[in-house]
A and B are shown apart, each in its own frame.
Chain A
């Protein structure tokens, strides 16, 4: 198999240059199983897809360069740090672990996500958290430092999305929460009524919501160096689904 790796200070370093994504992911698995490293560092990543998929357990994967689409798809355990931007489909159907993006992320971030957390320093593209879900104690969380493009939380069925609007970013997304029927979206800052989907209601966060905000914003700040107490001042609004089955009557006769 192509790809040379070397260890330094307990890290395994892989030069991903010119390695096809299938080979790279196979190599990662092999390293994980054979060497039990604490950190795998990937350098020169240029669009290889599905990084972090099929690695079950705890390991940190540091990515330098631009990882390809579906980063951390179906991921179950690892912590991925992206020192750059993430492309589309990041965290697709992710089950547990962390993805931390020190830049922006593309469309459908956290699509069908079912557990774990994603932290994005700046902004995200269209349809973040589309059809994200939750079950009992498995509640996925997405925290975004900036803002989002349209259709945030589309068909959302569970989980928590927090949009911080840092650096005075205004929220221009429309169709927020269209088809939403579970979970919660918290937005720091303002949105107008027309920006919201027909299926969401708007209210102040309650006591329990405040705890969720505090816990996740504190974690966000540990990665990106902000002051949690400043951000927690808000003001926050909460979007919640008005109906459990918004389209229940649409197709059934």
Chain B
């Protein structure tokens, strides 16, 4: 614990003031760029975290295995790896597997073993389950039944890299400056309710859905129980995990657009709903009735990503910050504007979105989708 104190409170302050940092960058044209600038940007917000978690999600990094699920799995013991591999062999054809390349750790200690497997589902008897559902089911089995094995990510042509440490040290460890993707998200953690551990770092992910989060989801209990009814099991001891599964359920399985999902997570207040025209009032009332258990309570700002899309969303009364910026084909989302300006000083515009209104960057779209009346558009 002494070491921890030295790292998280180097100036011997009475109270360490911090909060998570989140960052995202996406080229709407699908142009790929290295993780170098993303690491610089998230490192610029170092004071928001305390070295107890850092991580990245990146899309477009495995074009040679584009059609295969890339399972990135962390093992806390050799046995976990053996058990997981025999499980994988039974249910998947493995096209390629390797340890995720890394450098000698700098400022991080006891990194676990992290491997990646490019796999295709082995469909023998299988019921009428989609490939995606099949993968979700198997990921849940690994997370809940195989001891010391946790799946970091399980999507196609993307990956999650995370661990305990400052994000810039995690980025260095996993050589993320050598990867190129068209969409990156990043997170620096200041854990509030649970311990810092490798699986508990952000991003949280299922299939190609990832989420980084600043805040505290006080509805975790009710969200978790609701998701269990649909076969999602929370094993990472961190509130953010529920967002990843909720997104998968709502957007992939229930096929709801993000504009609606945003209104489930950050539902308009009842008094706001009362002022709406009849049609909208019915819609928002229905949403609150059907999906009330997925309302995210408490302060949050999240960046959600999946293949081809990046979404920023804050809670209704904005208890956590989010700034957006655009320049040419690039969309940036960040806890602080300074981090965006560091890597892109000449933004066309920077603005502060209204709480509960999503900012959406979509691959191939000519511009970022957002409500036009946000604050701070000059």
Contacts and interface: CB of A to CB of B under 8 A. Distances in A.
A106 B352 contact: yes
Interface residues of B, number: 27
Contact of A66 (B11, B337, B351): B337
A47 B45 CA distance: 8
Given A126-B317, A150-B355, A194-B275, A87 B375 contact: no
Given A68-B336, A85-B337, A125-B318, A49 B47 contact: yes
Given A47-B45, A49-B47, A149-B352, A87 B376 contact: no
B202 interface: no
Interface in A112-170: 122-126, 146-151
Interface size, A (range):
20 to 34
A21 B47 contact: yes
Contact of A107 (B321, B342, B378): B321
A47 B40 CA distance: 13
Given A104-B378, A107-B321, A148-B375, 14 more contacts: A46-B44, A65-B338, A67-B338, A68-B338, A87-B321, A87-B338, A88-B321, A106-B337, A106-B352, A122-B376, A125-B375, A126-B318, A149-B318, A150-B317
A125 B321 CA distance: 10
A66 B271 CA distance: 37
Nearest to A66: B338
Interface of B: 11, 44-45, 47, 271-272, 275, 317-318, 321, 323, 336-339, 341-342, 345, 350-352, 354-355, 373, 375-376, 378
B337 A149 contact: no
Contacts of A151: 317
A104 B45 contact: no
A179 B42 CA distance: 36
Interface in A25-64: 45-47, 49
Nearest to B316: A150
Interface of A: 21-22, 45-47, 49, 65-69, 84-85, 87-88, 103-104, 106-107, 122-126, 146-151, 172, 174, 194
B373 A69 contact: no
5 contacts: A65-B345, A66-B336, A85-B337, A123-B352, A149-B355
